């Protein structure tokens, strides 16, 4: 079985190249998200010929206030990849002061994606699910693009709205460590469920999680859903295949 880590910050590990090699060796289909366009050239170079790892062009909402002009650099790279992430909006207490800049950058990103051909976006939506979904409806033709909501923490009604829009959901083990996360997981459409680690921001066995740990995530999700781990792993792999469509021949 090939596992899926659809949101991992490989370039934030101590040895980026080694992290890419490890994901390849583990044969885990990994989306290496980035946080600023400044990191894109190296991410692209290290993953352009890999079988299991793909880089995504990102501009993290928590960083846009520090580098507002980098959105122009982001736009210069957007035609190089079908994968976009991590992007979105963060309205949590620490980052709410930059919400206007975040909205402007997110709007620009979505409009530019709409002009660039089919994209798959990994989206951050902490305390901002309504804003994110509103912007998706306004600025991104959802029939032509695919959205994966990373580490979803919205309400049950927001989850239903996202599902009705056709969104996918990438879930990590830490997200379901509490009862609220488990309840949200059970309401997610199984045919649009993906796994992630969000490494190195989560832990496994007392160390930063890596794509090779994703089998444990599948096991924990399966236990929460009352499913067989192998069945769920195969289903998630099929979900990835369906999501990618004709974008990559390697799955």
| CB 194 within 8 Å of CB 4 | yes
| CB 5 within 8 Å of CB 29 | yes
| CB 163 within 8 Å of CB 189 | yes
Chain segment 73-125, per-residue pLDDT in tens: 999 999 999 999 999 999 999 999 999 999 999 999 999 999 998 999 999 99
Stated as kind and residue range, the H or E segment containing 49 is none
Closest CA to 251 of 80, 84, 3: 3
- The long-range contacts involving 159-165, CB below 8 angstroms and separated by at least 24 positions, are 159/184, 159/187, 159/188, 160/187, 161/133, 162/129, 162/133, 163/188, 163/189, 163/192, 165/133, 165/136, 165/137
Could you tell me what percent of the chain has a pLDDT over 90?
95
Phi-psi domain of 7 (left: phi exceeds 0; alpha: psi -120 through 50; beta: other): beta
Give the alpha-carbon dihedral of 45, 48, 50, 55, to 10 degrees: 80
Q: What is the pLDDT of residue 169?
A: 98
Give CA–CA dist 84/23, Å, rounded. 19
Give me the mean pLDDT over the 153-165 stretch. Answer: 97
Q: What is the DSSP letter of 196?
A: -
Chain segment 196-251, per-residue pLDDT in tens: 999 999 999 999 999 999 999 999 999 999 999 999 999 999 999 999 985 654 44
């Amino acid at each position: 079985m090939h596992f899926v880590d659809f949101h991992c910050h490989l370039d934030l590990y101590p040895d980026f190249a080694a992290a890419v090699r490890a994901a390849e060796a583990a044969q885990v289909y990994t989306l290496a998200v980035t946080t600023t366009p400044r990191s894109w050239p190296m991410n692209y170079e290290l993953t352009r010929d890999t079988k299991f790892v793909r880089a995504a062009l990102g501009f993290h909402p928590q960083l846009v206030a520090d580098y507002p002009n980098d959105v122009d650099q982001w736009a210069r790279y957007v035609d190089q990849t079908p994968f976009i992430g991590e992007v979105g909006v963060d309205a949590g207490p620490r980052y709410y002061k930059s919400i206007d800049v975040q909205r402007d950058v997110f709007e620009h990103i979505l409009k530019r994606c709409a002009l660039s051909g089919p994209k798959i976006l990994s989206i951050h939506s902490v305390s901002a699910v309504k804003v994110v979904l509103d912007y998706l409806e306004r600025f991104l033709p959802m029939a032509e693009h695919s959205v994966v909501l990373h580490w979803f923490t919205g309400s049950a009604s927001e989850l239903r709205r996202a599902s009705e829009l056709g969104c996918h959901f990438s879930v990590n083990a830490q997200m379901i460590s509490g009862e609220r996360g488990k309840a949200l997981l059970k309401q997610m459409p199984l045919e649009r469920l993906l796994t992630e680690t969000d490494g190195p921001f989560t832990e496994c066995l007392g160390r930063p999680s890596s794509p090779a740990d994703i089998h444990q995530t599948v096991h924990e999700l399966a236990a929460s859903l009352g499913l067989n781990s192998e069945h769920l792993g195969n289903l998630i792999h099929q979900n990835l295949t369906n999501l990618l469509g004709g974008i990559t021949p390697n799955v």
